[in-house]
Structure 1
Amino acid sequence: GSSKTYDIMGMPFKNPIKDSIPCFLFTDAIYRGKEMTDISDGVRGTTQLKQNIKFIFNTAGNCLTNQHSTIKEVHDILSDENLCECIVDVNVTRTPSNNYADYILPDATMLEQEDFIRPSAG
């Protein structure tokens, strides 16, 4: 067999946001983001977050619910539109994370895509 790599085009600009949080703490960042710091919460790129999370763009996964240890707490937070004001979910299948989305967008499965570069696509 043989293999070939292909360049994948990304966004035409660099992300200006350098702040990041541990993925598992996204629920904390929704309701107490302004309180989160590098020392107490592992925030990177800044010493303290300036804003709570108000928008989530979730793609190719069911991580809003099934990757968290406190699903009831996640449900309560994501159900409160005063906390997280907009959620967009992009996926090839219907998932429990879709239940919290304001917008659900379809994605192409691996077999529907023009290439087979990314094995996690669909």
Structure 2
Amino acid sequence: MGKVLTTASTVTCGHVPEPPAGPPPVPPPPPPPVPGLIATSSTQKLKVLGEPVLVKSSLMGATIANCPNTGSPPTPCTSVLGVSSGESRKLRSGGFPVVLDRIGLTTNGSVPLPPVLTPAANQSKLSSE
């Protein structure tokens, strides 16, 4: 079973920044924005802890901010192109399968491909298959 993703969930493109070279600065700087954070929105009526659940259309075309996949030739991710897996087989909202925390996404960024996504559902009230 997977946890249902909502607008409060954290979903990223999966690329992680390179660790900084050398010792950390003292005092440490404030934490940077979440790299590759996908901006989600949903108008679904089904809510978990007051937050609308996500369906495939909630993610299609969503913008991605601060993807650390930069340099030459990599291109940073800026939008979601597709949802390849992770839709519930049983739970629906508005007639559409809800998206679970085992989601697979494709983006417009270039190689290297990110590792398997591990989105944070940020809720433990609702799960599905």
* More RCO (CA 8 Å, sep 6+): 2
User: Same fold by TM (over 0.5)?
Assistant: no
Classify the TM-score, shorter chain. Answer: under 0.3
Q: TM-score, normalised by structure 1?
A: 0.26
More helix by share: 1
Q: TM-score, normalised by structure 2?
A: 0.25
More strand by share: 2
